[in-house]
């Protein structure tokens, strides 16, 4: 089954403790991206990657890192999480040149 898988689904952590949210897709998509969803703001793009070893900032990249060492994986790294990063995070993938994006189930992160 074609899918985008994120882990974990729920995470509560403390300020400053490094964490990684994983994202994996099995559709051989070149393009992968991370979004955060906040009430009243919709989804905002954090980072994206157009292929292996090619990443770039989205609209709200501060406080986040990503890597793309393999085509299928695109982890989101928070080196020193802060409470303002409490949010619902979505990973998405698509074929380059094809507009339709496939989304993961989401990761609800709470930073206390």
Partner 1 sequence: GNSVTQMEGPVTLSEEAFLTINCTYTATGYPSLFWYVQYPGEGLQLLLKATKADDKGSNKGFEATYRKETTSFHLEKGSVQVSDSAVYFCALSDRAAGNQFYFGTGTSLTVIP
CA neighbor of 50 nearest in space, from 79, 23, 74, 75? 74
Exactly one of 1, 53, 62, 100 binds partner 1 (CB under 8 A); which one? Answer: 100
Would strands 76-78 and 102-103 be described as parallel, antiparallel, or unpaired? unpaired
Residues belonging to the chain: 112
Surface-to-core class of residue 54, CB atoms within 10 Å of its CB (0-12 exposed, 13-18 middle, 19+ buried): exposed
Which CB atom, from 81 or from 104, has the smaller least distance to partner 1?
104
Q: Give the footprint of partner 1 on residues 69-98 (CB under 8 A).
A: 90, 92, 94, 96-98
Q: Give the footprint of partner 1 on residues 5-64 (CB under 8 A).
A: 31, 33, 35, 37, 40-45, 48, 50, 58
Q: How many alpha carbons lie under 13 Å from residue 46 in its C-beta half-sphere?
A: 25
Exactly one of 11, 65, 103, 110 binds partner 1 (CB under 8 A); which one? Answer: 103
Residues that bind partner 1 (CB under 8 A): 4, 31, 33, 35, 37, 40-45, 48, 50, 58, 90, 92, 94, 96-106
């Amino acid at each position: 089954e074609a899918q985008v898988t994120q882990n974990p689904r729920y995470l509560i952590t403390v300020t400053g403790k490094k964490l990684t949210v994983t994202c994996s897709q099995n559709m051989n998509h070149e393009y992968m991206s991370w979004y955060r969803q906040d009430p009243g703001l919709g989804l905002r793009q954090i980072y994206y990657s157009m292929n292996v070893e090619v990443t770039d900032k989205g609209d709200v990249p501060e406080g986040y890192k990503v890597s793309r060492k393999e085509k299928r994986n695109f982890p989101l790294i928070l080196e020193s999480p802060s409470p303002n990063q409490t949010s619902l995070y979505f990973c998405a993938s698509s074929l380059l040149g094809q507009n339709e994006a496939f989304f993961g189930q989401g990761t609800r992160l709470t930073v206390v």
